Structure 1
Amino acid sequence: MGLINKIKPGRIIVLGFLLVILLGTMLLMLPISINDGASVSLIDALFTSTSAVCVTGLIAIDTADTFTVFGRTVVAMLIQIGGLGVTSVGVGFILLMRKKVGIKERTLIKESMNLDSLKGLVKLVKSVLLLTLIFESIGVILSYIVFSKDYSPLDALGISMFHSIAAFNNSGFDILGNLQNLIPYQSNILLNLTTCGLIIFGGLGFLVIKEIIEKRSFKKFSLHTKVVLITTGILLVVGTVVLKFTEDITWLGAFFFSTSARTAGFSTYPLSNFTNAGLFILTILMFIGASPGSTGGGIKTTTIFTLYKSIYSTSTNRHCVAFKRRIPSNVILKAFNITLLALFVVCMGTFILSILEPTYTFMQLLFEVTSAFGTVGLSTGITPNLSDLSKVIISLIMFIGRLGPMTIATIWYFKEPSNAYYSEEAVIIG
């Protein structure tokens, strides 16, 4: 326990995710997890476990065709833990055992949710768990109405529970079999809208949802909530319109992909039929992703909003302001750092896969890597055919995408910054 107290919170979070991934890998390789006649290699089990914990949805093997009910339950539990966060789940267990949540646990929650204060963290975790239960329960009921028409009551209930967990946690896993995802239900309005609703609320972030419920007025919302809502709405609308005019799909399909591309990964149309223009739009949406403190990945909506505001203010020689509030310079700097680190990960990953997988096009590989980084799960269909080394690379990118490139970069930080400063000298830029 003394050793754990000496480890920095960021490293504990990383280690926690790693341990859950390894545990999930071992459980998925047990005979009780695998269907008769199916086989699972170590790499595929690791890939599946990483994809589930990182709430991605990329699959090297079909979940329904390969795993038993026990195996699918393991995958669902990994998705739930990954979506809520290892620390939130851990604190949830502490609360269930009616034990006191210490400073170390509170600090871990603060770090994992990118919060500024230790105030009210236990209450926040309780709200997170309650909101998750409510949204997922509603998702189960609405999904059951659809799936009960095609499956037996017990199977429909199992599929509905799995789908609701996957959708709210922005993970594109499905258990319908044959790698078909939700394509058979591309015209089902109820399932499409239910899935989109779960994805959107899961991607807003628990703080935003809590504030919407408590304040119920846009004017009373914090700057963070206003930015998240406005940016999410713009991305949904623009994505829907552009996808409708670049692809031969319905308006419902365009809206579904515009929603799903921002870190969920469900498909209602085969992406192998999409044009490069459509795939590029989806790539941009995947890279941006969901919002901070949510179950989704990407660089986040607040980051892209801050970048836009910073560039606009610089171009017009004005202060960086949004909704009559000035955005701090350290926030702007962090937004640029996160974006540059994310671009580096995506570019480097695409470059490495271009060497390892020369038979695939650049667009296919860029799409796959961005999907992994954004913890989306959309794929043009190349994932199962990747080499073992490529799957390991994709797994690493999923891990970086879930925890965030800034978190991964700062775990190597050992010393406190010095109070001594060098004198300044300008550098010519541009």
Structure 2
Amino acid sequence: MELLKRQSPGRLIVLGFAGVILLGTFLLMMPVSVREGQQVSFINALFTSTSAVCVTGLIAIDTADHFTVFGRTIVALLIQIGGLGVTSVGVGLILLTGKRVGMKGRLMVKEAMNVGSLKGMVRLVKAVLLMTLCFEAAGAALSFLVFVQDYPPVQALGISVFHAVAAFNNSGFDILGGLRNLIPYQNDILLNLTTSGLIIFGGLGFLVILDIGRKRSFKKLCLHSKVVITMSVILLTAGTLLLKATEDISWLGAFFQSVSARTAGFSSYPIGEFTNAGLFVLIILMFIGASPGSTGGGIKTSTFFALVQATKSAATNQHCSAFHRKLPYEVLSKAFIITFLSMLVVCTGTFFLCILEPEYTFVQILFEITSAFGTVGLSTGITPELGDAGKYIVILTMFIGRLGPLTIASIWSFRPAAAARYSEESITIG
């Protein structure tokens, strides 16, 4: 216990996620979790648990076909814990017992939710938990109106609750069976819009939603909220138009897949039948992902925005600014570092998977790894066919994608920054 107290918040968060994943793995392997006549190996249980905790949605085995109601409940709980974050759930449990949250717990919440200040951490966690409950309850109620038409009421309720949890937490799991995802409901307007709404709000970030609730005017919002909302609208619009132009799908389908690629992973059309152009559009959307402090992954909308603004300022020889505010150098530097590390993770994972699975095309493998890194869950259909070594590559990629490459890199920092400074000398760039 004393050893844990000495660890940095980043390390504790990583250990927390790893611990929940291992616990989920063993729970999913229990006989009470597995349907009669089915078998769940350790690698498939680990893959499912990692995908759930990392709110991804990639599946090696179909959730409905292999797991009982108890097993599917475990998956839903893992998705909820992964979406909210192990730290937020832990603080919530401490609050329920009436105990005081210590400084270490507040630091971990600050680190996990990417907040700039320790002020109001407990209030923030309470607001996040209440917000999540409200969105998921509303989503479950609306989804029930659709599913009750095809399933008995009790089963429809279970599917609706599971779907609402998965959608708001940007995890593309479904329990409809047969690896169908939402393809049977590709023309259902209510379910498509309900799911899209849950994904969008879950991907905006809790701080942005709270800011919108307080200010209720775009002009009054903080810079971060303006950037997130602007980029979300641009990416959703561009994604919809490009997918409609490259694929033979409806406008509803194009919009839904554009939303889902930011990082939910639900599919209303067979992704494996998309053209290379359509898959490339989805790869870009998946890599950018959702927004900081949300349930989604990717390099984040604000990071991409900072890259664009920095490039624009370099080309025009102007200050890097947005909405009449100058962006700090530290923000731009962090954006480039995160993007570089993320590209390194995707390239490395793609390289090794190309070696391990030579029967698949480069686009299929790049799509799979990008989906894993962005914690999206979309697949061209190759996930269940991967060998054990390939699955471990995807598992590691999902884990890094959920926690962020910068967080993973920081856990190896054992020493404080050196006080000595070297003299400066320039090098030629470009």
Question: TM tier, shorter chain?
Answer: over 0.9
Q: State the match for 1:69 in structure 2.
A: 69
Q: State the match for 1:176 in structure 2.
A: 176
Q: Deviations over 1:204-256 (max 9, x none)?
A: 00000000011101111110000000000000000000000100000000000
Q: State the match for 2:402 in structure 1.
A: 402
Q: State the match for 2:32 in structure 1.
A: 32
Cα separation, 1, equivalents of 2:418 and 2:116: 22
Q: State the match for 2:50 in structure 1.
A: 50
Cα separation, 2, equivalents of 1:129 and 1:89: 8
Cα separation, 1, equivalents of 2:216 and 2:271: 38
Residue 142 in 1 paired to residue 180 in 2?
no
SS for the counterpart of 2:35 is coil
Letter in 2 for 1:218: F
Matches within 5 A, 1:320-359: 320-359=320-359
Q: State the match for 1:413 in structure 2.
A: 413
1:418 Cα shift?
A: 1.9
Matches within 5 A, 1:265-414: 265-414=265-414
Q: Deviations over 1:258-280 (max 9, x none)?
A: 00001100000001110000000
TM-score (norm 2): 1.00
1:2 Cα shift?
A: 2.2
Cα separation, 1, equivalents of 2:102 and 2:345: 35
Q: Which residues of structure 1 form unaligned runs of 5+?
A: none
Letter in 1 for 2:305: F
Letter in 2 for 1:5: K
Cα separation, 1, equivalents of 2:293 and 2:41: 34
Q: Following superposition, which runs of at least 4 residues in structure 1 exceed 3 angstroms of deviation?
A: none
Q: What fraction of aligned residue pairs are identical, expressed as a percent?
A: 69
Residue 199 in 1 paired to residue 206 in 2?
no
Cα separation, 1, equivalents of 2:114 and 2:38: 41
Cα separation, 2, equivalents of 1:218 and 1:359: 50
Cα separation, 1, equivalents of 2:5 and 2:30: 34
SS for the counterpart of 2:127 is helix
Cα separation, 1, equivalents of 2:114 and 2:168: 20
Cα separation, 2, equivalents of 1:30 and 1:419: 53
Letter in 1 for 2:319: H
SS for the counterpart of 2:346 is helix
Letter in 2 for 1:410: S
Matches within 5 A, 1:12-31: 12-31=12-31
Cα separation, 2, equivalents of 1:4 and 1:378: 36
Q: CA RMSD in A?
A: 0.5
Q: State the match for 1:4 in structure 2.
A: 4
Residue 216 in 1 paired to residue 216 in 2?
yes
Letter in 2 for 1:378: L
Q: State the match for 1:116 in structure 2.
A: 116
Q: State the match for 2:99 in structure 1.
A: 99
Q: Deviations over 1:146-187 (max 9, x none)?
A: 000000000000000000000000000000000000000000
Letter in 1 for 2:279: L
1:5 Cα shift?
A: 1.4
Letter in 1 for 2:190: L
Cα separation, 1, equivalents of 2:116 and 2:306: 18
Q: Deviations over 1:343-395 (max 9, x none)?
A: 00001100100000000000000000000000000000000000001001100
SS for the counterpart of 2:58 is coil
1:419 Cα shift?
A: 2.4
Q: State the match for 1:427 in structure 2.
A: 427
Cα separation, 1, equivalents of 2:429 and 2:276: 34
SS for the counterpart of 1:3 is helix
Cα separation, 1, equivalents of 2:178 and 2:286: 25
1:3 Cα shift?
A: 1.9
Letter in 2 for 1:24: G
Letter in 2 for 1:347: C
Q: State the match for 1:244 in structure 2.
A: 244
SS for the counterpart of 2:56 is coil
Q: Which residues of structure 2 form unaligned runs of 5+?
A: none
Cα separation, 1, equivalents of 2:397 and 2:270: 24
How many pairs align?
430
Letter in 1 for 2:292: P
